[in-house]
Structure formats: C-alpha cells, structure tokens
C-alpha cells in the first residue's frame, strides 16, 4: 500500500514539485503550461526582457493556482540579480540568442530543476516554507507562532506597566522632595520674623526640668518660630549641605521621627534633640538625630564627612539654642550601631553627661579610636559637645556619627 502511495506521489510531480492530490496535480499542470506561455511573451534573451518579466510578476499581473507561481517569481528574481552583478562587473553587453551567456550557465532558458529551481540560478538552497509540511504540522507551527505572539504581547504589557509605575514613583518622589524643600524654605523665612504675640521669659516653660532656672530671653530670630511650636530648642546648619533646619525636642525619641515642625505626619520627620539632653542646664553632650533620606534632605548628607577632604572644607557646624548662638568644630567621625542592652560596649548614644574628668576622658578615647581619620582636635573636661547621628546602612541598625566641640 505504501509503495503504491509513493508511486502515485511520484506521478504527481510537476517541475520538481510533488503534489498530494489529483486536483492539486491538475492545477499544477495548468500553471506549468501557463508559465510557458508567459515566457513566450518576453524577450528572455535580453536583460531588459527579463527585467520586464520580473516587474510584471511582482505587480501580480499573472495569477497562479499553485506554488509553481512563487517558484517562477523567485527563479526570475535570482536571474535578474545575476544580471545586475554582471553589470556592476562591467559585463553589460547584451547576450544574443535564446541561451544568452551567464557566469553560472543559461539565464535565458527558464527551466525548473527537480527541486523547483532553474539550474541556471545556481545551487543555492531553497528555504523551508510552511507549505512544505503536512496539515497537522502546519497547525502546530501556527499554534506555536500564536503562542509566541501572545507571550510577546504579555511581555510588552508588563514592561509598559513597570515603566508607568517607575514614572509614577519618580513623580511622587520629586513632588515630595520639592514639598520638603518648600517647607524648609518657609521655616527659614520665618526665622528672624517678628512674632505675632510677644514672647518673654515668663511665658517659656521647660517641660523636662522642674528646677527653678533663670531663663534667658529667646533670641529675636527664633521668637516667631517658638511662638508657632514651643518644642523648638534650636537650629542646626552646615554649609554646602541641605542641613539647615530647626531642632525640636519632646518627651520621647519617637514623635519627631515621623512628624514635622507643624506637628503633621511626615515620613521625613524632623531634626530632634535626644529626650534625655537638656539645654537649661546644658548637658555635656547634646545628641541630635535626623533621618538619612535618599534625597539628601534632613541628615541625608551627614555622611559626606566620611571624606576627609569634605571635612577639611567644613570643619565648623553652626548650632544655636533658642537662647544663644554656638559654633562647633568637628572632632570625630565614625560608624557605630545600636547595640543590645546586654552588650558591654561603648554606646555613643548613652554619653550625655560626664560625672567626672576620668569618665569624660574615657569617652574621648573610645570615640578617637573609632574615628575614620584624625582631625587633631581634642576636648577637655568641661567642654560642651555636640553629636549628630543618622542611620547608616553598612550593617543592621548602623549609625553614622559626627562629634564636635563648641569653640564659641
């Protein structure tokens, strides 16, 4: 039975193409005859005649029933391509006779080989086409192409969603940064303005101290800000950075981590003084905290002091309390972390008051040993210190710390 099918298939071969059904075979015979009649209409012995044939075939002047029409077009394209190469090489002499000369054989006599190609077109291998497969394989190929197209569309959609998300995130990010900058500029403008109501020492209440203390008058430039928020205790400024903010203090170290000067919820928080520090009477060491924001705001640029070159140009920090101005010179710059209560190790955030000269000197030695570089600046018992602390991501619960002493 198989042998019989093979013989039937061989009998249904036209111009090197095999056809499965009798109907296809008969259509192919008609196309073969049609192709012969078309070739007789052109002077195929000339380059111009072959070019004219190719032009008409490309413009679909002739319609074919089977794949023989495509083979005829491709063969003609190859012959015309060879003509162009001959012209480029300088061989533009028109060939004479029906069998015009060509480098690889006969270009004028358009005859198909067994593979459906003209021998004159050379031995170039014909590419595989969908029609070369059986019906089941064609369906599988088309399904795979549809699946690939579906995956491509899903990938494009996902990329577009990610891109849109990124643009939205950047938009929100820059909006928040601008909002924070505008808010900081507003506070800086309020600094130095006359308060609406008079602020006198009698109206000042120190919420963390029950002692009777002679309270000095609040500096004029901070009266307006103090009238708006009586948690204000000072102002911190470092040249050439964003650090130029009011400093606040309350009875815990959590509130101003996510609230701004106006007591509004704000993930940027505020710069605040440790709850155990006092400015009246003054603690040995005032510890200020602020978030390390990626935008560089708050204490986000404090780690610039990790560069000794930056330190050389920014030795001094301006920190005013609401009662007096102060300038501090940087002594130590180091990295540390928040330790477990049970760990026996130097914890800079617990150094607020030194009860003796020995204790003070011990603290100085600990910080000097941790410092990233030697500034040559030292402090003596009785000096007033300022410590700036922010998060540092070199380790879990890491901190970046700058310690300075008051020089005026």
Q: How does pLDDT run across 276-318, given as a tens digit for each residue?
A: 999 988 999 999 999 999 889 999 999 999 999 999 999 999 9
Based on the fold, state whether residues 288 and 207 are members of the same structural domain.
yes
> Which pTM value belongs to this model?
0.57
Other Cβ atoms less than 10 A from the Cβ of 65: the count is 15
Residues 119 and 215 in one domain: no
Assigned domain for 144 exists:
no
Helix (H, G, I), strand (E, B) or coil at 83: helix
Please, which residues bridge with residue 385 across strands?
A: 285, 405
Say if residue 202 is in the same domain as residue 99.
Answer: no
DSSP state of 232: E
Domain count, the chain: 2
Q: What are the two backbone dihedrals, phi and then psi, of residue 134, each rounded to the nearest 5 degrees?
A: -75, 170
CA distance 115 to 108: 19
Instruction: Give the pLDDT of residue 104.
Output: 47
Is residue 92 located within the same domain as residue 219?
no
Please tell me the predicted confidence (pLDDT) of residue 153.
86
Identify the pLDDT of residue 113.
40
Question: Considering only CA atoms, which of 406, 379, 239 is closest in space to residue 321?
Answer: 406
CA distance 380 to 383: 6
Q: Which of 94, 129, 164 is the last residue of a domain?
A: 129
- Identify whether 160 is part of a domain: no
- Does the residue 140 lie in any domain? no
Residue 171 domain-assigned (yes or no): no
CATH number at residue 204: 2.40.260.10
Of 95, 129, 163, which closes a domain? 129
* Residue 56 Cα to chain centre, angstroms: 53
Predicted confidence (pLDDT) per residue in 367-383, tens digit: 999 999 999 999 999 99
Q: Which residues, at least 6 apart from 403, have a Cβ–Cβ distance to it below 8 Å?
A: 330, 331, 332, 333, 334, 348, 367, 385, 386, 387, 388
Residue 100 falls within a domain, yes or no? yes
d(CA 243, CA 214) in angstroms, rounded, equals 31
Same domain, 238 and 379: yes
Does residue 175 lie within any of the structural domains?
no
Dig out the tokens for 285 from the structure: 């060491």
Model pLDDT, residue 120:
41
Same domain, 32 and 122: yes
**Claim to verify: residue 263 and residue 394 sit in the same structural domain:** yes
Pair 110, 250 in one domain: no
Q: What are phi and psi of 379, to 5 degrees?
A: -130, 155
Give me the average pLDDT of each 10-residue run along the chain (408 residues).
50 86 89 91 90 91 90 92 81 45 45 41 53 72 84 88 81 68 72 62 49 82 92 96 95 94 92 95 96 91 96 96 96 95 93 94 96 96 96 92 96
Residue 166 to residue 29: CA distance in whole angstroms: 62
Q: Phi and psi for 399 in degrees, rounded to 5?
A: -135, 145
What's the confidence (pLDDT) of residue 97? Answer: 42
214 and 123, same structural domain?
A: no
The pair of three-digit structure tokens given for residue 310, joined into one six-digit string: 């930056």
Domain identity same for 121 and 257? no
In a domain, 66, yes or no: yes
| Of the residues 84, 109, 129, the one at which a domain ends | 129
Clarify whether residues 97 and 196 are in a common domain.
Answer: no
Instruction: Considering only CA atoms, give the Rg of the chain.
Output: 44
Domain containing residue 58: 2-129
Give a yes or no: residue 373 inside a domain. yes
H or E element at residue 406: strand 398-406
Residues 108 and 236 grouped into a single domain: no
């Amino acid at each position: 039975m198989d042998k019989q099918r093979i013989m039937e298939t061989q009998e249904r071969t036209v111009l090197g193409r095999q056809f499965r059904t009798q109907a296809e075979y008969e259509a192919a015979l008609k196309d073969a005859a049609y192709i012969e009649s078309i070739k007789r209409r052109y002077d195929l012995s000339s380059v111009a005649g072959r070019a004219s044939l190719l032009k008409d075939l490309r413009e679909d002047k002739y319609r074919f029933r089977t794949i023989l029409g495509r083979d005829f077009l491709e063969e003609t394209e190859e012959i015309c391509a060879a003509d162009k190469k001959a012209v480029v090489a300088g061989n533009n002499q028109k060939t004479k006779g029906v069998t015009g000369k060509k480098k690889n054989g006969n270009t004028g006599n358009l005859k198909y080989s067994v593979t459906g190609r003209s021998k004159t077109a050379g031995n170039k291998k014909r590419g595989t086409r969908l029609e070369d497969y059986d019906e089941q394989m064609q369906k599988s190929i088309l399904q795979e192409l549809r699946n690939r197209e579906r995956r491509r569309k899903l990938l494009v959609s996902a990329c577009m969603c990610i891109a849109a998300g990124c643009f939205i995130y950047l938009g929100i990010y820059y909006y928040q940064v601008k909002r924070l900058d505008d808010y900081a500029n507003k506070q800086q403008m309020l600094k130095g303005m006359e308060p609406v109501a008079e602020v006198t020492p009698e109206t000042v209440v120190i919420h963390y101290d029950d002692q009777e203390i002679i309270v000095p008058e609040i500096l004029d430039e901070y009266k307006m800000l103090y009238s708006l928020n009586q948690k204000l205790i000072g102002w911190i400024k470092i040249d050439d950075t964003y650090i130029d903010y009011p400093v606040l203090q309350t009875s815990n170290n959590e509130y101003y981590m996510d609230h701004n000067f106006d007591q509004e919820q704000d993930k940027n928080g505020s710069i605040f003084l440790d709850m155990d520090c006092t400015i009246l009477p003054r603690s040995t060491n005032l510890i200020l905290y602020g978030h390390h924001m990626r935008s560089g705001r708050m204490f986000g640029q404090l780690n610039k002091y990790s560069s000794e070159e930056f330190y050389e140009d920014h030795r001094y920090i301006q920190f005013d309390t609401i009662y007096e101005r102060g300038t501090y010179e940087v002594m130590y710059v180091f990295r540390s972390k928040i330790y477990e209560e049970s760990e026996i190790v130097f914890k800079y955030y617990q150094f607020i008051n030194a009860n003796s000269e020995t204790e003070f000197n011990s603290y100085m030695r600990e910080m000097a040993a941790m410092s990233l570089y030697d500034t040559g600046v030292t402090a003596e018992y009785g000096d007033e210190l300022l410590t700036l602390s922010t998060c540092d991501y070199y380790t879990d619960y890491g901190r970046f710390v700058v310690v300075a002493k008051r020089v005026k």
